[in-house]
Amino acid sequence: MTKVDVGGEIRTVQRRRMRMPAPLAWIVIMPFAAWAVIRLAGLERGMLMFQLISGTPYAAAGSLFALLVAAASRSRAAMSAALVTCALMAIIVLPRALPSAPTATGPTLRILTANLFYGQGDARTVVDLVRRLGADILNVQELTPEAVQALDAAGLGARLPYRRLEDAAGSSGSGIYSRHPLTRIPDFAPAGGHNMPRAALRLPGGRTVEVVDVHTLAPVRHNIAGWLADFPALPSAASSSATIRILAGDFNATLDHAALRAVIDRGYVDAADATGNGLRTTWPADRRHPPLITLDHVLFDERASAVRTSTHDVPGSDHRALFAELRLP
């Protein structure tokens, strides 16, 4: 209501507020509601959906816009649907920003994982990260023979003298470097995929830790079947034995992919998620804009704890390196 002077006479005029048409509000809300259902139920299918689902944190932010549109429509049904959608998106995304308190009280193990992008990642930067972070283990993906030589020339052997390497030309090579002696464990990776070496290291005091250098295929074109086959092939956490198992590397998947969540459900915890850094992105890191999604992970046996995690740029690579400090049970 407002008062205006019309020819010396004061009149009261009712000002109408703009109202968003309810059908238009539903058009805005429904894609976000469908996204939440697909993500929660793990219903993504096909290359396009496998790639789109990686953007769930952005869709969660977009659902707030849908809530504003619903409020503008003044439709109770639309507002209720938008509120439920926002709540579901919050349940999916917000826990990644909330750290959990470490409970394990055993020895500390520090692991760094880095995808070198066809061996082009700067070796000196990687070795400097190993030194500065005090890494006990370095998992490397896309490790070429030339990259092995570059890492040696940069002094990696002096800090991590033990190694289990399956280097190769192109993107298939991988390798594990360690401060502690390594024992080779037979490979498990499906044929036709990237090398994923596996080794056991014995810590001072006799504790055995098994490490897998993970590099799944990417979910693109003809790789879809291979990508889906890589995840079930990853070993489950060894919860029935004294061995602690760690999977670290480039999973080519985010926490919004059902395939990766199925692996975590087999006895693992995501280190970045556990430390409240689950929304820090790692790929692509070679563009003018910041990385958009998180493809690199450190998964550890749920009996252990994550103390801290961080991401680090590696010049020449399209991935940020991921560091995790773990405390064993």
Helix (H) or strand (E) holding 120: none
Looking at residue 17, its pLDDT comes to: 58
Domain boundaries, the chain: 22-97, 108-327
| Reported CATH class of domain 108-327 | alpha beta
Q: Distance of alpha carbon 41 from its chain centroid, rounded?
A: 19
Which pTM value belongs to this model?
0.92
Strand order in the sheet with 137-141: 162-166, 174-178, 137-141, 108-115, 321-327, 305-312
11-21 b/e (C-beta count within 10 Å ≥ 16 → b): eeeeeeeeebe
- Contact between 155 and 127 under an 8 Å Cβ cutoff? The reply is yes
Q: What gap in Å lies between CA 198 and CA 245, rounded to an integer?
A: 10
Please give the structure tokens belonging to residue 88.
């579901």
Looking at residue 14, its pLDDT comes to: 54
Closest CA relative to residue 294, chosen from 311, 307, 308: 311
Looking at residue 238, its pLDDT comes to: 80
Which sign, positive or negative, has the C-alpha torsion 15, 17, 21, 22? negative
Spell out the residues 6+ positions from residue 168 whose beta carbon is closer than 8 angstroms to its own. 143, 144, 145, 195
Q: Omega before 232 cis (within 30°)?
A: no
Please give the structure tokens belonging to residue 92.
């999916």
Give the 3-state secondary structure of 7-54.
CCEEEEECCCCCCCCHHHHHHHHHHHHHHHHHHHHCCCCHHHHHHHHH
Burial degree of 241 (CB within 10 A; 0-12, 13-18, 19+): exposed
Looking at residue 2, its pLDDT comes to: 55
Q: What gap in Å lies between CA 231 and CA 246, rounded to an integer?
A: 14
Q: What gap in Å lies between CA 283 and CA 271, rounded to an integer?
A: 17
pLDDT in tens, the chain (329 residues): 555 555 555 555 455 556 778 999 999 999 999 999 999 999 999 999 999 999 999 999 999 999 999 999 999 999 999 999 999 999 999 999 999 999 999 999 999 999 999 999 999 999 999 999 999 999 999 999 999 999 999 999 999 999 999 999 999 999 999 999 999 998 888 888 999 999 999 998 888 999 999 999 999 988 999 999 999 999 999 877 888 999 999 999 999 999 999 999 999 999 999 999 999 999 999 999 999 999 999 999 999 999 999 999 999 999 999 999 999 99
Largest Cα separation within the chain, whole Å, is: 96
